[in-house]
Amino acid sequence: MNEEPEVQPREESVDNEPMSAAPESEAPPTFSRASLGKPSEPVTPPPLFTPSAPPKRGFPWGWFVGGGILGCGCLPLMMLLLGSLLMKSSGMDKSVKVAKDSIGLVNITGVITSGGSDAAGLFSSSNAGSHTIIEQLEAARKNDKIKAVVLWINSPGGSAAASDEVFKEVLRLKEKKKVIVSMGDVAASGGYYIASAGDRIYANGATLTGSIGVISQMPNLAGLYKKIGYNEVTIKAGRYKDIGNTSRPMTAEEKALLQQMVNDIYDQFLTSVAKGRNIPMARVRQIAEGRIYTGRQAKLKGLVDEIGGLKDAVRYAGKVTELGDDPNVVNLGKKSFWDMLNDPTAKFRGLNDARWIGLFLLDPRAELISRSMAPQTEPFK
């Protein structure tokens, strides 16, 4: 039997050695779409967008115009603020030279207070200081060129002592010269106290006046203090030394004491009005009681003489002094920067602190009502 030769299995050599890596310095070949796999130069992809050339910048007119408008708007505001803060009115204007026979004009505008006057600022209302007013009245009394004085009153009142002080100075001036009163929007309480001393009173038909009375208000905050846990300790010497203490109710004895003071000042008010207006005391008591009157109502009650404005009062002053219907008028008050931008007899600008603690001939109602009812007096020019 023949034996077949043994077939040896074929051994395939497997090259297990890794392929030699390309040199690091040699970049892999790149191909383009057109070369169909053939090596070619690398192709850079197109950019996503092509930046445009920067526009040529001209003069910034927008910023220039906007800045100019803003500057023009802020400059007057800054001037008003600085002027109202730095140039307060006070006393007689020393620069006023009375070259010929004239009518003197004294403005009593705002709350009547003791001391000097302050002009109205951007954030405050004007006040009528008794010392300032008296200084102007005294200057008019001593100046032979001032033949008469017109008082322009636009005030809801104020301090009882200051009002009485000015009232007495007006009486002193009356001994030598005529004093004509012109009422603006409001001439109530202390404002009427001063007006009653004049020789003749002019009021607009819708002027608010009268309010012959005295007021004293003190808050009782005991309930509020209890809610917020506030405690106050008072050490005093004298039974009534802490009268008006807001941390406790007022006692009956304290109320009686204050009522006596209010009644006494009220009697002084009535006596002054009766003297100034030459009205019997009984009649004054009848029309007083703190009542507010319009100009027309006040004329019927005998509290004013004529219905008219500032120009009417000036014409009358010129007539009684034989200076004619259009006399020369000299403003005796100092003008502040604010006054230069507004007529010196501008309307009453408001009452920030109408309810003070103390004894006042002040009517806070008059200011509130006058905002919607009283006319604007035509300023003297």
Percent of the chain residues past pLDDT 70, beyond the cut? 60
Q: Could you read off the pLDDT of 217-243 as tens digits, one per residue?
A: 899 999 999 999 999 999 999 999 999
Give the up-direction half-sphere exposure of residue 269: CA atoms within 13 A in the CB hemisphere.
34
Identify the residue with better confidence: 261 or 381.
261
- Residue 132, helix vs strand vs coil: helix
**What's the pLDDT score for residue 346?**
37
Is residue 19 situated within a structural domain?
Answer: no
Give how far the C-alpha of residue 378 lies from the chain's centroid of Cα atoms, to the nearest Å: 21
Is residue 231 situated within a structural domain?
Answer: no
- The maximal CA–CA distance of the chain, rounded, in angstroms, is 178
Examine the pLDDT at 44 and tell me if it is beyond 70: no
How does 93-132 read in b/e, with b if 16+ C-beta sit within 10 Å? Answer: beebebeebbbbbbbbbbbbbeebbbbbbeebbbbbbbbb
Angle at 340 between CA 173 and CA 193, to 5 degrees: 30
Is residue 81 situated within a structural domain?
Answer: no
Residue linked to tokens 């008469």: 148
Average pLDDT, the chain: 77
One-letter amino acid for residue 315 of the chain: R
**What's the pLDDT score for residue 117?**
73
Average pLDDT over residues 138-152: 94
Residues belonging to the active site = 189, 241
The parent domain of residue 270 ranges over 98-216+251-373
Among 41-50, 94-103, 371-380, the minimum mean pLDDT is found in 371-380
- At 127, the pLDDT band (50, 70, 90 cuts) reads confident
Q: Could you read off the pLDDT of 325-365 as tens digits, one per residue?
A: 999 999 988 655 445 444 443 333 333 333 333 455 655 55
Q: Which long-range CB contacts under 8 A does 270-276 form with residues at least 24 apart?
A: 270/212, 272/164, 272/167, 272/193, 272/196, 272/197, 273/192, 273/193, 273/196, 273/212, 276/167, 276/171, 276/196, 276/197, 276/198
Examine the pLDDT at 366 and tell me if it is beyond 50: yes
**What's the pLDDT score for residue 372?**
42
Determine how many CB atoms are found less than 10 A away from the CB of residue 143.
17
**What's the pLDDT score for residue 182?**
97
Is residue 18 situated within a structural domain?
Answer: no
Q: Could you read off the pLDDT of 46-86 as tens digits, one per residue?
A: 666 566 666 666 656 666 666 766 666 666 666 666 655 54
- At 137, the pLDDT band (50, 70, 90 cuts) reads very high
Question: Rounded to an integer, what distance in angstroms lies between the CA atom of residue 71 and that of residue 49?
Answer: 43
- Residue 146, helix vs strand vs coil: strand
- The CATH number of residue 287's host domain is 3.90.226.10
Q: What is the pTM of this model?
A: 0.68
Is residue 206 situated within a structural domain?
Answer: yes
Is residue 83 situated within a structural domain?
Answer: no
Among 55-59, 273-277, 297-301, the minimum mean pLDDT is found in 55-59
Is residue 85 situated within a structural domain?
Answer: no
Please give the tally of structural domains in the chain.
1
Contact 271, 260 (CB under 8 A): no
Identify the residue with better confidence: 71 or 165.
165
In terms of phi and psi (left: phi > 0; alpha: psi -120 to 50; beta: otherwise), the region of 36 is left
Is residue 198 situated within a structural domain?
Answer: yes
Question: Rounded to an integer, what distance in angstroms lies between the CA atom of residue 282 and that of residue 313?
Answer: 29
